[in-house]
């Protein structure tokens, strides 16, 4: 089986409140996006790593990626939404690689820089050849409240069986493209697969694989990277 990684990076990350899109903010001496790309590129199990940029992106730090060049490919075909960026990326992959219908694609957020090799290996091993694919996720630990617009509790949502979805999320190329064409409104790939009536496998990850969304997340990510034991 062949595995590819696809990293949608065509978002602006407006919640960071920064001029620079968050994927390019400095983190531990490198552009944030380089961390996850480097992790995926160093894995022999991953044949190629592709990044989807906005067509008008002038900030992609090509100079800091040259050592990753043999494995790394860049597509400038980002769309209006994450789902469109991923679908466009999947089509660009097929145009470059030929028939990859049955190959696996691991879609990973550019904004999750602390991804570890161990978590990717666990995802690939636990999903195996499950037709519905699967994703990294964390069981919800906190008590969940639904709030109204005025900031008051409307109800407590039972957390039993609830998971926070992370990435990578891995699916066979043709299935994911069909699902995203069928359900383009989704905010993650697993949701698209679910609309086809399939149940992706949940693979337990941990909170170190956080998504950098707000400024404080950058400090947390920096701490995680600094305290990680060498692979």
In angstroms, give the least distance from the CB of 131 to ligand C5P: 25
Q: How far is the CB of 158 from ligand C5P (least distance, A)?
A: 26
Q: Least distance to ligand C5P from the beta carbon of 8, Å?
A: 3
The total of other beta-carbon atoms located within 10 Å of residue 147's CB is: 10
Shortest Cβ 39–ligand C5P spacing (Å): 15
Instruction: Give residues in contact with ligand C5P (CB under 6 A).
Output: 8-11, 13, 23, 52, 78-82, 85, 109-111, 211, 213
Comparison of 85 and 209: residue with beta carbon closer to ligand C5P: 85
Residues sharing a CB contact under 8 Å with residue 208, sequence separation 6 or more, in sequence order:
114, 116, 224, 228
Compare residues 83 and 203 and give the one whose CB is closer to ligand C5P.
Answer: 83
CA nearest to 131, candidates 170, 88, 78, 73: 170
* CB closer to ligand C5P, 85 vs 169: 85
Q: Which residue is nearest to ligand C5P (CB)?
A: 11
* Residue (11 or 140) nearer to ligand C5P, CB: 11
Q: At what angle do helices 215-226 and 32-41 cross, to 10 degrees?
A: 40
Torsion over CA of 172, 175, 115 and 79, rounded to 10 degrees?
A: 130
The answer to whether 169 touches 133, Cβ cutoff 8 Å, is yes
Angle subtended at Cα 166 by Cα 129 and Cα 225, rounded to the nearest 5 degrees:
110
């Amino acid at each position: 089986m062949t595995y590819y990684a696809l990293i949608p990076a065509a978002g602006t990350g407006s919640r960071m409140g920064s001029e620079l899109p968050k994927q390019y903010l400095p983190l531990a001496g490198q552009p944030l996006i380089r961390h996850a790309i480097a992790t995926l590129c160093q894995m022999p199990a991953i044949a190629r790593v592709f990044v989807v940029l906005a067509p008008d992106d002038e900030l992609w730090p090509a100079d800091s990626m040259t050592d990753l060049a043999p494995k790394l490919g860049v597509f400038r075909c980002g769309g209006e939404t994450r789902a469109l960026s991923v679908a466009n990326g999947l089509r660009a992959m097929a145009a470059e690689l030929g028939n990859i219908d049955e190959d696996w694609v691991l879609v990973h957020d550019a904004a999750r820089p602390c991804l570890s090799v161990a978590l990717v290996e666990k995802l690939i091993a636990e999903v195996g050849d499950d037709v519905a694919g699967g994703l990294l996720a964390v069981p919800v630990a906190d008590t969940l409240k639904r709030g109204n617009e005025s900031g008051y509790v409307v109800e407590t949502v039972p957390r039993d069986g609830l998971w926070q979805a992370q990435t990578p999320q891995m699916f066979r190329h043709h299935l994911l493209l069909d699902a995203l064409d069928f359900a383009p409104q989704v905010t993650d790939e697993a949701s698209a697969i679910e609309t086809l009536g399939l149940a992706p496998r949940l693979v337990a990850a941990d909170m170190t694989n956080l998504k950098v969304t707000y400024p404080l997340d950058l400090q947390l990510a920096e701490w995680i990277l600094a305290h990680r034991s060498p692979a």
